[in-house]
Amino acid sequence: MSCASCGKPLAGAPSAKASFCPACIEGLNKAGVPIEWAASECSKYRGLTVSVAMLTGLHQKSKSGARAAAGSGSAAASHSHRKQKAKKPSAAAMGSAAAAASVLGRHEEGDGGPPRRFKPLTPLEQIQLDLLYHRLDIRRLDIHVTSKDQNGYGDLINCLHTGRLLSQGTGWNVVVGSTHQALERMLPSFPWVTSETSASWEPHIRLETPTPSGDEDALAVSEYSYRVGGAMNAFTRKSGLGPDEIGIMINQELGIPLSLAALRLETPGLGAFFGANQGSRFFFGYGAGQKKDARYNLLLDRVVFDAGIERAVVFPVNHNVIDKSRGKGRSGKSYIDEYLKDRHFQCTRVGKDEDFGVFTVATVAVGAKRTIKVVAMKPEKTIVYADMQQMWRAADRSFTIAEGDQSFSEAISAGIPMAYHLWPADDGLVHKRELFQHFVARSEVHAGVDEFLRACASYPEATYDKNALMGIIACSNDEGFVRRYAGFAREVAERCNIETGLQCFVRRHWLRKFRSKLDEVDPELRAQVEEIVQLEERGDFHQAVAATRAMLSASSWRLLESNIKWGVGEGAAMRRLGVVKEVLSPRPAGAAQRPVGALEFTPEILSLISEYEESRVPVAPPVPGLMGAAGAPPAETATAAAGTAPVGASAAAAAGVVPAPPKPPSS
């Protein structure tokens, strides 16, 4: 059995008083709320806790209704069948916490029934609630991000990028897990995350991506514009560009151009190849070609049929032979041979393919003066992902191709006009059509961009469309158009970066998941959070927003305190608090040592403690007394108790590795 107001476990036989813990009984007595009445009122909210503040407001409301009924005289007797409309208690009468939370107890006016129900929160409302947590500072967080081995490398890269985005700017410890055989090979390109865990390691948050549905045990983020249907809830978010989606993965570095000479590539043979082709224009994109040829063909057409390009390297990141799934008639044939068969009137192969181990290079001649080298991956071979990111930066800024999620994000991050690959899925619907429609809709205010995107998407797969192609080439060669497109892509990257939404999603869930532990710090704060959760579950969006804003405004730093204490341990936090305070405001010679209980945590001090914990500085052996060995100077004492920062270091250095200490808190 647990307390009907705060949820704490209770012992003893059932009774009115046994419905509440001693602290809540004391609070009810102070507020003048009869215990029996409170127990009866709580029984109307089966499965929910009702705070002391809320019960106080409800009691005030019931008394107001009773006074109104008694004062109505004979009119009340003749109209006793009418429901009396109770006045809402004032904020002063209820207290600030009750004023924010009183809506949870709203009845159908005066009928004494259960709280009014709303429709479930919409996906957009869930996202808006997430974003309220944007400034909630959480320093100590272990997150396990996982993906399954499916559909090539896309889901694995999605998992790794999710870990990167959760770690950037937060310092959270992110561990990734995947059954994909290439996980360890890809990890060096993502220094923000690790795959190492101990058998006893237990993350605070679990998140799976991409997957269509999450729950209390593991959050879920879907792939871009995936059809999740009714699965959208407090534990599931859909990524993409739509109004009910939390954004796409942006890598701002890809927008910074890089010359071919500046490439520092790890994939064997790749650096040497580019070194020998410095004078060529480099066209890069992602078109695995396992579904359709259209964008692969279009990338080559854009180069082959542009007479202004004399030397070029084209790297569409596809396999050099056609996959068996494409049919017996084409299985094992070379993509470039298939292309040349359809474009024989324009270009021909020259010599044999060059073999670089991981990839091959075919040389194509267009007339007497133009040479194009087409790079293709060997089956079962991969390029180091960090090399792929460099090649996006070195790519020609006039045209690229993309398909799926990751290359779509990368092309937008790079700001290069893109031909996006759409194809019919097994269920007959066009794969990624919704994502593409959202993308085009955002482009319509940028002159000519939407027409370009549609023309590229509708370019025929097997045939050469001269009129459509000449229009695409003209746009790609128009500096004004390329600038407009780059501005559009930059706008999408800034407005639709998933990083903020993803981090806020995790922050909100952290507070929901660990709200019961707030009893250790501030039971009233725990009650506020509990009421917010109940408002959300009832679908009362506007009141949930108001209550969340009030709670975060008043208690953000208390939540930071709780997070750090839980992360480093109560005792360790108190010891480091004493050390930092001693160095920031040392005692006069001969003054008595201040007890730890007289010291206070502040956001600045909490930050120092957290940063020290994250610095991985070896901690010195335990020393006698709170402040270290007797007679040690303050700075030496701080070093001994907080870690191995140099003697004479600032309080910041003693408690954590930071540039300079904050000003001492005012007394």
Buried b (16+ CB within 10 A) or exposed e, 111-137: eeeebeeeebbebebbbebbebbeebb
pLDDT of residue 95: 38
Q: Is 229 exposed, middle or buried (0-12, 13-18, 19+ CB in 10 A)?
A: exposed
**Is 90 exceeded by the pLDDT of residue 126?**
yes
Could you give the CA distance from residue 652 to residue 658 in angstroms, rounded to a whole number?
6
Could you give the CA distance from residue 183 to residue 177 in angstroms, rounded to a whole number?
8
User: Can you tell me the mean pLDDT for 262-273?
Assistant: 94
pLDDT of residue 200: 79
Work out the mean pLDDT of the chain and round it to a whole number: 77
Identify residue 411 by its one-letter amino acid code. A
Instruction: List the one residue out of 15, 112, 127 whose CA is nearest residue 61.
Output: 112
Q: Which letter does DSSP use for residue 497 in this model?
A: B
Could you give the CA distance from residue 604 to residue 652 in angstroms, rounded to a whole number?
10
**Is 70 exceeded by the pLDDT of residue 663?**
no
- Dig out the tokens for 153 from the structure: 């490398």
Q: Is 562 exposed, middle or buried (0-12, 13-18, 19+ CB in 10 A)?
A: buried
Sheet holding 359-366, edge to edge: 281-284, 311-315, 370-377, 359-366, 348-355
Could you give the CA distance from residue 570 to residue 596 in angstroms, rounded to a whole number?
12
The residue behind tokens 């403690």 is 609
Cβ atoms of residues 322 and 330 within 8 Å: yes
Could you give the CA distance from residue 255 to residue 273 in angstroms, rounded to a whole number?
24
Q: What angle do CA 258, 262, 268 make, to 5 degrees?
A: 115
Question: Which range is least confidently modeled, 38-47, 322-331, 569-578?
Answer: 322-331
Could you give the CA distance from residue 28 to residue 50 in angstroms, rounded to a whole number?
12
Signed CA dihedral, 457, 461, 467, 472: sign only:
positive
User: Can you tell me the mean pLDDT for 306-333?
Assistant: 71
Q: Are strands 205-208 and 359-366 parallel, antiparallel or unpaired?
A: unpaired
Reported as a pLDDT band with limits 50, 70 and 90, residue 301 is: very high
Higher pLDDT, 578 or 351: 351
Instruction: List the one residue out of 145, 149, 236 whose CA is nearest residue 192.
Output: 145
User: Taking the mean position of all CA atoms in its chain, how far away is CA 578?
Assistant: 35
Residue ranges of the domains in the chain? Answer: 1-72+83-116, 264-492, 569-655
Instruction: List the one residue out of 2, 292, 130, 587 whose CA is nearest residue 11.
Output: 2
Q: Are strands 359-366 and 219-222 parallel, antiparallel or unpaired?
A: unpaired
Contacts of 364 (CB under 8 A, 6+ apart): 304, 336, 340, 347, 348, 349, 350, 371, 372, 373, 374
Proportion of the chain above pLDDT 70, given as a percent: 68
User: Can you tell me the mean pLDDT for 402-410?
Assistant: 93
pLDDT of residue 374: 94
Q: Which ranges of 477-522 does DSSP label H, i.e. alpha helix?
A: 479-495, 498-513
pLDDT of residue 591: 55
Distances (CA, A) of 9 to 18, 55, 236, 516: 11, 19, 30, 11
- Dig out the tokens for 407 from the structure: 């290359």
Reported as a pLDDT band with limits 50, 70 and 90, residue 139 is: confident
**Is 50 exceeded by the pLDDT of residue 331?**
no
Could you give the CA distance from residue 429 to residue 331 in angstroms, rounded to a whole number?
26
Cβ atoms of residues 329 and 388 within 8 Å: no
Reported as a pLDDT band with limits 50, 70 and 90, residue 536 is: very high
CATH class of the domain at 264-492: alpha beta
Per-residue pLDDT tens over the stretch 475-514:
999 999 999 999 999 999 999 999 999 999 999 999 999 9
**Is 80 exceeded by the pLDDT of residue 93?**
no
pLDDT of residue 584: 59
Report the first-to-last Cα separation within the chain, whole angstroms. 44
Identify residue 486 by its one-letter amino acid code. A
User: Which run of H or of E encompasses 609?
Assistant: helix 603-614
Cβ atoms of residues 205 and 143 within 8 Å: yes
Reported as a pLDDT band with limits 50, 70 and 90, residue 426 is: low
Instruction: Report the predicted TM-score, pTM, of the whole model to 2 decimal places.
Output: 0.71
pLDDT of residue 320: 62
Hey, which bits of 186-295 come out as E strands?
A: 205-208, 219-222, 236-238, 281-284
